[in-house]
Chains A and B, each alone.
Chain A
Amino acid sequence: MTMTSARRGSKARGAALAAVVPLFLVAACSSGSGSAGGEDGEIRMMVNLTDNLNQAYWEKLVKPFEDETGLKVKIEGPTGKSVAESFPQQLAAGTAPDVIQSIFPDDDTAPELIDLSGEAWAKSTPMFDEYAMGEAHYAVGVGTQTQSLVYYNKTAFEKAGISEPPTTWDELTKDLGDLKKAGYTPMQTAGDFQTGLQLQQIYHPTLNQLHPEWQTAVSDEKLSVGDAYEPAFHLYADWIKAGYINKSDVGLSPSQADGNFTAGKVGLYTNGSWFAATLNKAGDLPFEVGVFSPPAADGKEYPGPQGATMANPYMIRKGIGDEDGAKQLVEYLVTDAKAVEAQLGSDGVFRKGSQREQSEVDAQIQGVLDAAPALVAVGEGQGNVRLPVTGFNPKFTEVAQSLYTGAGPADAAKSIDQWVDENR
């Protein structure tokens, strides 16, 4: 009898425990203070992890800072597909990091970020003013990434009888025909994010000559994106029809497209300055690589403005435990000579006055950058020159891909306008 009741008591206690423990677990899981900085003396930094910029690279980059200050920097990759996707999710979940690399502020994220306008060291960093939002500065960077570059195969050009890179759209179209006749893939494009990116990249100079600060014009409803890009859609549609761009490229991964160019099968390849890092890593290629700025608008000066973005932007989240430590870290990353040099060499990043030894391709890109009459905002825009929508690049890629799958330029223009109207 006593034993039975004891067993029953034990059962009841076990049951009570079973009831209480999950409650604590649920409570523990759901308790979020909204401030999710690292442990004491630890700064959490979310970075873009790529083949070139891997975990080991970032840890090596911050090591001297850790040794000097005694602060610990925890490198974190994005929890989703990208930093752009993960940061808002983490902000909402109360688990956002202290320092965020690779993305730019916008109207939604700006209130969550520290304004660095008052920091003396920040003012001399590249493109500081171009990224101002009103009077505030939330992002500081290491250098400039050049967006509008066309890489070309000099051997292919010679075999096709092309003596000079084209400076007008007519010349470029003729060159594509000559490259095709010479047995090369005239222009390499790719699927995924790269379809829309490449179309934007090759058209930046012309677009900004015809419609300076076009993103602002769209915001002010003085221009539609469709009107701005329809001539570029026509060019692409014509090139696809003529077989200068393979329709099947739309199913090709960007790395396969890179591989086709480095294998020497391709005449022209539109890409950003980061592709130089891939070329430098590829070692000896079976041909010589040239780089030129895309054609200018008819009747306008060549070269046109160069699409450019702040390279390796860093932002600091508001309300973190160790704000001073995070500022020290960012100052180190964007001003320390060795840290800057390491970042310049890593992913096709350029900075005025840099003493870094450049490869031949790097030197050509530097030449394009130096010759550009202006550096202009790309895609959704930056700082005070921005479109009134978010998520522009993925949608633009979708529209650009529709040119490969049978849509006409007018349909593509209408489609992007419809999306902008729905999301404005």
Chain B
Amino acid sequence: MERTAASKPRGWRDLGARVSMVVPAVLIYAALLVVPVIYAFYYSFTEYNGFPHRVPEFVGLDNYRSIFESDDMTGTMVVTAVVAVVGAVAVNLAALGLALLLQRTNRFNTFGRVVMFYPHVLSALVVGFLWQAILGPQGVVNTMLEKVGTDSLPFLSDPDWALWSMILVIVWSLFGVQLILYLAGLQAVPADLLEAARIDGANRWQTFRAVTWPSLASTVTVAVITSGISLLKTYDVVVSLTGGGPAGSTKTLAYSILAVSFPQRDIGVASAQAVLLIVAAAVLAITVLVLRRRAEDDAESIG
């Protein structure tokens, strides 16, 4: 009895300590992430210029309607989707391929990892300006092409070329983080399984497909979701590499929010675009998780 009575206050104290450890993080998270998102939802149903003297005016779904009825904005959403899907696939293929090449620890591979991670250290704005100087009409590549008597290539002056050039640059600047994730994931692949596969006579591709790839499932999930979300938010590279051009062909949703809607003081439309971006990120994350869960279930049912 005495022990129970004594343990109660201690239990309360422990609970109090636990709560007090968690509450600050929850409050900061709520203040910096949840509250702004709630505000974005609220503003997305209003017409508002963001100025203190104006009161947001409720307009229902008008902002969403105007987004989906505008060719300009639907075009922007298509560009964002292409950048996110193609970019995520390319980033992860490049990162996984390089991780497989660089997974053994030796001096060359250590140097290689540093070199491959280096682009991620650069600011995205700097990356854009750097590649502008390389791919621009008077950039390094076109100057060299002209010197050898070949026609220059419209990397940044043709709408299709500009979009693919931008995706290439974004992939180059992003894949360093995914590379680290895959390198870490590869370290966790059980050595005994790899050994067993080798003893069973599996070749490299069979070992990768039957042992490495399933062991990397959670890493792939994280890498695809994080890269996809980063790509959905593409802004800085657009500003410094293409400025959204030519003719608006590389405008992403994030660029449209920050460089078009906000300067036009269309806070309602900007917020509606931001809400759509949040929804797109959530759909992406849930889709990847569901696909992974389904793959795991299939594997278990076969097993």
Q: A272-317: which have CB < 8 Å to B?
A: none
Given A23-B27, A191-B246, A192-B243: A251 and B51 within 8 A (CB)?
Answer: no
Q: A192 vs B128: C-alpha distance in the bound complex, in angstroms? A: 14
User: Which segment, of A42-50, A59-67, A352-360, A397-405, faces chain B?
Assistant: A397-405
**Contact A191:B157 (CB < 8 A) given known A18-B20, A34-B52:** yes
How near does chain A come to B35, taking the closest CB pair, in angstroms? 9
- Contact pick for B159, options A108, A112, A193, A405, CB 8 Å: A405
User: Can you name the residue of chain B whose Cβ is closest to the Cβ of A29?
Assistant: B31
> How distant is the Cα of A208 from the Cα of B28 in the complex, in angstroms?
56
* Residue on B nearest A190 in the bound complex, by CB: B137
The one of A12, A248, A422 in contact with B154, judged by C-beta atoms closer than 8 angstroms, is A248
Residue A222 interfacial (CB < 8 Å): no
Q: How far is the CA of A108 from the CA of B243 in the complex (A)?
A: 26
Q: Is B265 an interface residue (CB 8 A)?
A: yes
- Classify the interface of chain A: helix, strand, loop or mixed: helix
CB–CB B51/A398 < 8 A: no
Q: Which of B64-72, B92-100, B170-178, B287-295 contacts A (4 or more CB under 8 A)?
A: B64-72
> Are B262 and A89 in contact, CB atoms less than 8 angstroms apart?
yes
By the criterion CB–CB under 8 Å, are B17 and A11 in contact? yes
Binds B, one of A68-76, A80-88, A141-149, A160-168: A80-88
Whether a CB of chain A sits under 8 angstroms from the CB of B214 is no
Tell which of A16, A108, A192, A246 touches B51, judged by Cβ atoms closer than 8 Å.
A108
Residues of the A chain whose Cβ atoms lie less than 8 Å from the Cβ of B155: 251
CA distance A108 to B48 in the complex (A): 10
Whether A391 sits at the interface, judged by CB under 8 Å, is yes
B204 interface residue, CB < 8 Å from A?
Answer: no
In this assembly, does A26 line the interface, its C-beta being within 8 Å of a C-beta of chain B? yes
Cβ of A19 and Cβ of B23 under 8 Å apart? yes
Q: Hey, which chain B residues are within 8 Å of A407, CB to CB?
A: 247
- Asked whether, in the complex, the Cβ of B243 is within 8 Å of the Cβ of A92, the reply is no
Taken together as a complex, chains A and B put the C-alpha atoms of A422 and B264 apart, in Å, by 13
In Å, the complex CA distance between A92 and B39 comes to 13
B163 to chain A, nearest CB (A): 12
- Among A18, A94, A112, which residue has the most Cβ atoms of chain B within 10 A? A18
Per-residue A-contact encoding for B79-117, CB less than 8 Å = 1, 0 else:
000000000000000000000000000000000000000
- B66, A422: Cβ atoms closer than 8 Å: yes
A404 B246 Cβ-Cβ under 8 A = yes
Q: Count chain B residues whose beta carbon lies closer than 8 angstroms to a beta carbon of A.
A: 50
- Give every chain A residue within 8 A of B260 (Cβ-Cβ): 391, 394
CB-CB under 8 A from A252, the residues of chain B are 136-138, 157
Q: Are A250 and B27 in contact (CB under 8 A)?
A: no
Q: Tell me which of A94, A253, A394, A418 contacts B71 (CB under 8 A).
A: A418
A124 in the interface (beta carbon within 8 A): no
A338 contacts partner chain B, Cβ-Cβ < 8 Å = no
Q: Judge whether B53 is part of the interface by a CB distance below 8 angstroms.
A: yes
- B277 CB within 8 Å of chain A: no
Given known A81-B259, A89-B262, contact A16–B20 (CB-CB < 8 A):
yes
CB 8 Å contact bits of A114-152 with B (1 = contact, 0 = none)? 000000000000000000000000000000000000000
A52 interfacial contact with B, CB 8 Å: no
**Which among B17, B137, B262, B263 is the interface contact of A248 at CB below 8 angstroms?**
B137
Using Cβ atoms and an 8 Å threshold, which residues of chain A touch B138?
Answer: 252, 256
Partner of B264, one of A246, A253, A390, A401: A390
Complex CA gap A81/B236 in Å reads 11
Are B157 and A404 neighbours in the complex by a CB distance under 8 Å? yes
Given contacts A111-B53, A401-B246, contact A15 B20 (CB under 8 A): yes
B198 at the interface (CB under 8 A from A): no
| Binary flags per residue of A244-279, CB closer than 8 Å to B gives 1, else 0 | 001111111100100000000000000000000000
Chain A residues whose CB sits within 8 angstroms of the CB of B52 once the complex forms: 34, 91-92, 94, 112
Contact of B265 among A18, A25, A390 (CB under 8 A): A390
| A30 near B31: Cβ-Cβ < 8 Å | yes
Q: Mark A407-424, 1 if CB is under 8 A from B, else 0.
A: 100000000001100110
Q: Which residues of B are found within 8 Å of A423, using beta-carbon distances?
A: 264
Q: Are B31 and A253 in contact (CB under 8 A)?
A: no
Q: Indicate whether A174 reaches chain B with its CB closer than 8 angstroms.
A: no
Measured between C-beta atoms, what is the minimum distance from B261 to chain A in Å? 9
Interface positions of B from 117 to 136, Cβ below 8 Å from A = 132, 136
A18–B267 Cα gap in the complex (Å)? Answer: 36
- Which B residues, 211 to 230, have Cβ-Cβ distances below 8 Å to chain A? none
Distance in angstroms between the alpha carbons of A34 and B54 in the assembled complex: 13
A8 part of interface (Cβ distance < 8 Å): yes
B24 and A22 contacting across the interface, CB-CB below 8 Å: yes
Q: Are B154 and A251 in touch, CB under 8 angstroms? A: yes
Residue ranges of B at the interface with A (Cβ–Cβ < 8 Å): 13, 16-17, 20-21, 23-24, 27-28, 31-32, 49-53, 66, 69-72, 132, 136-138, 152, 154-159, 162, 239, 242-249, 258-260, 262-265, 267
Not counting A26-B27, A26-B31, A84-B263, a sample of 18 additional A-B residue pairs whose C-beta atoms are within 8 angstroms of each other reads A11-B17, A12-B17, A12-B20, A30-B31, A34-B52, A80-B258, A89-B50, A111-B53, A191-B157, A195-B245, A248-B137, A251-B137, A390-B263, A394-B260, A399-B247, A401-B246, A422-B70, A423-B264
The 3 closest A-B pairs by CB, nearest first: A251-B157, A251-B156, A92-B50
- 21 A-B residue pairs with CB within 8 Å: A12-B13, A12-B16, A15-B21, A16-B20, A18-B20, A29-B31, A30-B31, A85-B262, A88-B50, A89-B50, A108-B49, A112-B51, A248-B154, A250-B157, A250-B247, A251-B156, A251-B245, A256-B138, A391-B263, A401-B247, A422-B72
